[in-house]
């Protein structure tokens, strides 16, 4: 968890990753995250951990405006507050039962979060969001290699100390080409150890 | 029809799952593969000399290939699942066999002490999962929600699902394979879906 700067916005998903009913799973600087879109349209980024028994939220489902945990079907609304406990249907749920929520911004077809992110989200040029490619190399090394790529506006998401997700805007809209370029970069970096 | 079945084998799960999806009734006969080695008994080898599971029996007809069983059940119950006119079906069923020999093997080595090289099997499975993820991602962009181009799910979805859904048993992860995770959910939410150990069912207490 050492490679995550505070005050920085990181892109951790694409808008198209968040489909109805589904909980997207990722990790940012060692923090496991569950990302989902409520029926109302708001996007949520939470710790991927139910406060009840610690099961990954990303094993669950989205039902309306709630995320429902796979383990005991507890439901949590967009503020992170638990809204319903099936085993105690008559009980008013204590306000202290909450999922840990992260800041969220949406921009350039991407979903952004971070630890106390400050200022506006980085402005990316127009284009099409390419497929995110994980590379088993540290973020600084990946970022250095990305500088040379034409037609791509990349951002990096440190997954953990040794793994990095590359997200990019294909500024010419040629997503298959962007994919080949990023996968080739992955091959090159991962074989040059 | 009678299915000679071992709960933990993906190939058996594929037949149970597909029968449930198309509403085909099966009579299950559990075979104690592990630790009983009942599939090496004279009785079982008389039924299937290959000693493999599952085995499907309908009167005098005996099937010993799990993919052939999927096709046979589809032809009998709902042929939309079996687009035999499309060569891509051969490719996807072959992909499922490659997953069996890599992901499936790594899982049997890790969880049931089967012999083999788990690291090599995992490395091969990683390559296959990366490629299926790539195809699924571009498929989604083109509006295709199943592995084949058809709007209807096919036996190819079932054949690769039963391995990919169990990949954590094999020490592999879908964390960085988001299109595969979305497709897994789509299969899980299909009407008639049934789970097995290691696969989460869609939640039953609330109507979707």
* B104-153 per-position pLDDT tens digit: 999 999 999 999 999 999 999 999 999 999 999 999 999 999 999 999 99
Residue B205 reports pLDDT greater than 60: no
Q: Where are the domains of chain B?
A: 2-79, 88-188
Residue A1 reports pLDDT greater than 90: no
pTM metric for this prediction: 0.95
Cα–Cα distance, A28 to A44 (Å, whole number):
15
Asked if the interface predicted TM-score (ipTM) of this complex is over 0.90, the answer is: yes
pLDDT of residue B208: 40
Which tokens sit at B41?
Answer: 């008994």
Those residues of chain A whose CB sits closer than 8 Å to some CB in chain B are 13, 16-17, 19, 21-22, 24-27, 59, 61, 63, 68, 70, 73, 86, 131-132, 134, 159, 165, 175-176, 179, 183
Residue B206 reports pLDDT greater than 80: no
Q: Where are the domains of chain A?
A: 7-123, 125-191
Residue B44 reports pLDDT greater than 50: yes
Separation in Å, CA B137 to CA A86, A153, B142, B182, B189: 36, 20, 9, 10, 19
Per-residue pLDDT band for A13 (boundaries 50, 70, 90) equals very high
CATH number of B88-188: 1.20.1050.10
Which tokens sit at A150?
Answer: 């034409």
With tokens 């009678």, the residue in question is B2
Which helix (H) or strand (E) covers residue A168, if one does?
strand A163-170
pLDDT of residue B82: 98
Distance from CA of A25 to the nearest CA of B (A): 6
Q: What is the pLDDT of residues A101-142, one digit of tens each?
A: 999 999 999 999 999 999 999 999 999 999 999 999 999 999
Cα–Cα distance, B101 to B111 (Å, whole number):
15
Length of chain B: 208
More confident call, A90 vs A171 = A171
**Contacts made by residues B37-45, CB under 8 angstroms, sequence distance 24+:** B39/B6, B44/B4
Cα–Cα distance, A101 to B143 (Å, whole number):
32
Cα–Cα distance, B77 to B140 (Å, whole number):
28
- Could you say which residues from 177 to 206 on chain B have a Cβ atom under 8 Å away from some Cβ of chain A? 178, 181-182, 185, 189, 200, 202-203, 205-206
Cα–Cα distance, B129 to B127 (Å, whole number):
6
Mean pLDDT, residues B45-58 taken together: 97
Please list, in sequence order, all residues whose beta carbon lies within 8 angstroms of the beta carbon of residue B145, skipping any fewer than 6 positions away: B139, B151, B183, B186
A88 neighbourhood in chain B, CB within 8 Å: none
Least confident of A55-69, B57-71, B170-184: A55-69
pLDDT of residue A71: 85
Across the interface, of B141, B176, B206, the residue whose CB is closest to A134 is B176
**Contacts made by residues B39-46, CB under 8 angstroms, sequence distance 24+:** B39/B6, B44/B4
Q: Is B206 in contact with A19 (Cβ distance < 8 A)?
A: no
User: Under CATH, which architecture does the A7-123 domain have?
Assistant: 3-layer Sandwich (2.102)
Cα–Cα distance, B164 to B156 (Å, whole number):
12
Across the interface, of B138, B178, B203, the residue whose CB is closest to A61 is B203
Which tokens sit at B52?
Answer: 């493999």
B2-79 topology per CATH: Glutaredoxin (3.40.30)
Name the percent of chain B lying above pLDDT 90: 94
């Amino acid at each position: 968890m050492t490679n995550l700067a505070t005050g920085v916005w990181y892109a951790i998903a694409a808008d198209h990753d968040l489909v109805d009913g589904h909980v997207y799973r990722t990790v940012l600087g060692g923090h496991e995250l569950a990302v989902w879109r409520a029926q109302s349209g708001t996007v949520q980024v939470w710790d991927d951990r139910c406060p009840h028994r610690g099961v990954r939220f990303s094993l669950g489902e989205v039902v309306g405006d709630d995320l429902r945990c796979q383990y005991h079907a507890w439901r949590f609304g967009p503020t992170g507050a638990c809204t319903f406990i099936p085993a105690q249907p008559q009980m008013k749920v204590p306000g202290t039962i909450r999922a840990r929520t992260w800041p969220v911004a949406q921009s350039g077809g991407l979903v952004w979060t971070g630890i106390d992110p400050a200022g506006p989200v980085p402005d990316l040029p127009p284009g099409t969001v390419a497929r995110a490619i994980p590379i088993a190399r540290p973020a600084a090394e990946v970022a250095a290699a990305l500088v040379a790529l034409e037609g791509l506006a990349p951002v990096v998401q440190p997954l953990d100390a040794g793994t990095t997700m590359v997200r990019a805007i294909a500024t010419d809209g040629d997503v298959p080409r962007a994919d080949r370029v990023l996968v080739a970069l992955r091959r090159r970096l991962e074989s040059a150890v | 029809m009678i299915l000679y079945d071992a709960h933990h084998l993906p190939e058996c799960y594929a037949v149970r799952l597909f029968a449930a999806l198309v509403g085909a009734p099966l009579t299950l006969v559990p075979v104690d593969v592990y630790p009983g080695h009942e599939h090496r008994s004279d009785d079982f080898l008389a039924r299937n000399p290959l000693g493999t599971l599952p085995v499907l029996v309908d009167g005098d007809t005996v099937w010993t290939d799990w993919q052939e069983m999927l096709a046979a059940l589809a032809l009998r119950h709902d042929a939309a699942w079996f687009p035999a006119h499309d060569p891509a079906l051969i490719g996807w069923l072959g992909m499922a066999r490659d997953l069996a020999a890599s992901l499936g093997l790594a899982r049997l080595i890790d969880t049931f002490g089967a012999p083999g090289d788990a690291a090599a099997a995992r490395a091969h499975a990683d390559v296959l999962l990366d490629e299926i993820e790539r195809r699924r991602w571009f498929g989604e962009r083109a509006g295709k929600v199943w592995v084949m181009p058809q709007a209807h799910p096919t036996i190819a979805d079932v054949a690769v699902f039963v391995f990919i859904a169990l990949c954590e048993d094999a020490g592999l992860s879908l964390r960085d394979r988001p299109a595969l995770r979305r497709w897994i959910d789509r299969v899980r939410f299909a009407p008639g879906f049934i789970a097995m150990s290691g696969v989460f069912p869609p939640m039953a207490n609330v109507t979707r």
